[in-house]
Structure 1
């Protein structure tokens, strides 16, 4: 039998394939469709409020009675200093002017209007809603939180982008580690928002396998059977796919964004901090070219919150130059079939 069964048995799924959380692009319908294919759906809660998170969990449960993971951001929120306030005002003014010059009418929020949330606000609601699988990125959960989650029989999946991060996660007591390769689309799961380990996914996976004992999921560049065979040989027991599902019927991307995705070229896929303040991989556009390497990038989550309204306005205008379209390095035919059918096709190919 090809499929490793350690992770499948632990998570209660038929195949050890995980639909990547992809906050902003995945939907509850995508989570349910992944479950119908015998895989693990991931419900992206990110840094939503407790109320919003509970609503999404309950909505997902109406669509599937299969296991699914909830995914949160384990980031640390930077302190608001005078320096941050000054930089925020300058960035806000510059981005509003940039939008106006490009015929996008938008008023961005003031710093005082921005709400930041710690992952701690979501722990009790996740427990109370009887979620049994929790994945997280941007760091490690604190010891007290991990003990609380494990006391409630919740399986923990942490994300690493380096061997050092993998060792920290293993020591913290997580059950499974997701090894995120540099090839992966969307946000880097790196613990340090200002630095990304410059190591390719397959090399990282092989090294992490040599250093830790917990089961590994690999994420980054998987789009066909050959990639899954290769990562299995290097030690992966689970396989996370994200970009493969971007144009699916359940994706939250608008038709104009899916069309842009299908025309992407190799040189257009870049790592950028311009939209969120954290490194993420996506399609280069006018906003990225203007903001990247400028003085108008705030630390996460402030840059992310600041640019939200701009991205919404650009999306309403079907303007791909001012929205983030996250995508990994493996360019392929972005199928418009349902998530269920795309995953079943991948399973048949394997």
Structure 2
């Protein structure tokens, strides 16, 4: 381990249940941001003595294996693989009709802005069940699995635990935290309403009205499970506030959007740097699930249309539009997820950004 990191670890006394469970020096987790996270970012987080998270989302099992192999070529440190655990609605007559209407509307929108897109038919969509991913990550002997949008089924939990896998679930309410704890999930990530990206909500369709730190305090009292906190952590003050309210670990995402290892294109990073608080909204427009990011023309037009399909159908339908928009560097038609806390966007390496957060925290804590 880097001597600088070793000295920090002993000075700050960061060691706790989470560092022991995950085999890391600092209880800081790089958020699994699909479309932003790269194997390089995961490795860089590990170099800082923290946990990198490889976002697999709903990739095909073979794509999962490729991503895991690329990451392992870059680091020997522990890292998590992150899955989307969600229900896929069956295709019925109603969904076919809605999909056709949404497709026609989106084609008209694209024409209006001179975007040449060829949207997929509903029967051509490739849907991947997370059960296939479980097989891949077990074959690859991944020892840390985090997930969102729901809870793993009991059989998958039992199989993973039989291999000594540490499981990290995501909650956005006390009820969800209790469900995860009852399922014997090892670590619970409490996702505050301030967090960027998709909401991990699964026990209700409603958006939790409670603020993240208030939720963290309530979850801390409700369950006896180590807690990560995600949402609005961008400096030492916010990290220490989360710790004071019961967090054993801290997940950071938006802080790393502009990093050297981020997969965001330069025009997307530039738009993120220029974002104002009033630009950040919760929307279902791009994926069919609530996610926090930068408002743009597509968000406004989509919400006004009322033609938003359930996840993952909306996500699959908008994928081609987003691809074409990115190739044309048009930020008004791509999803740029980020949290409510607007902070300085550093282009430094993920390692440097995290080390700086650790150092600032030690200074502020007086340790």
**Same fold? TM cut 0.5:** yes
Aligned-residue offset at 1:2: 4.7
Of residues 226, 245, 251 in structure 1, which corresponds to 2:262? 251
Q: For residue 195 of structure 1, what is the aligned residue in structure 2?
A: 206
**Distance change in 2, residues 1:192/1:214 (3 Å):** closer
For residues 218-233 of structure 1, the aligned pairs below 5 Å read 218-233=229-244
Q: Is the 8 A contact 1:193 1:300 kept in 2?
A: no
- Tell me how far apart the structure 2 counterparts of residues 100 and 318 of structure 1 sit (CA, whole Å): 17
Structure 2: give runs of 5+ residues left out of the alignment.
1-11, 362-367
Aligned-residue offset at 1:3: 2.2
Deviations 1:192-236 (A, max 9, x none): 574221111000000000000010000000000001110000010
Aligned-residue offset at 1:245: 0.1
Aligned-residue offset at 1:128: 1.0
Q: Give the SS at the match of 2:53.
A: strand
Of residues 17, 24, 29 in structure 2, which corresponds to 1:18? 29
With the length of structure 1 as denominator, give the TM-score of the two structures: 0.99
Q: For residue 63 of structure 1, what is the aligned residue in structure 2?
A: 74
Of residues 98, 105, 120 in structure 2, which corresponds to 1:94? 105
Q: Give the SS at the match of 2:73.
A: helix
Q: Is the 8 A contact 1:136 1:157 kept in 2?
A: yes
For residues 244-283 of structure 1, the aligned pairs below 5 Å read 244-283=255-294
Pair 1:206 & 2:217 matched: yes
- After superposing on structure 2, the runs of 4+ consecutive aligned residues of structure 1 that deviate more than 3 Å are none
Of residues 184, 190, 193 in structure 2, which corresponds to 1:182? 193
The number of equivalent residue pairs is 350
- Tell me how far apart the structure 2 counterparts of residues 2 and 287 of structure 1 sit (CA, whole Å): 47
Pair 1:117 & 2:128 matched: yes
Q: For residue 338 of structure 2, what is the aligned residue in structure 1?
A: 327
Aligned-residue offset at 1:115: 1.1
Aligned-residue offset at 1:172: 0.5
Aligned-residue offset at 1:79: 1.2
With the length of structure 2 as denominator, give the TM-score of the two structures: 0.94
**Distance change in 2, residues 1:28/1:266 (3 Å):** same
Pair 1:165 & 2:171 matched: no
Q: For residue 290 of structure 1, what is the aligned residue in structure 2?
A: 301
Deviations 1:69-117 (A, max 9, x none): 0000110111111000000001011011101111111011000110111
Aligned-residue offset at 1:252: 0.7
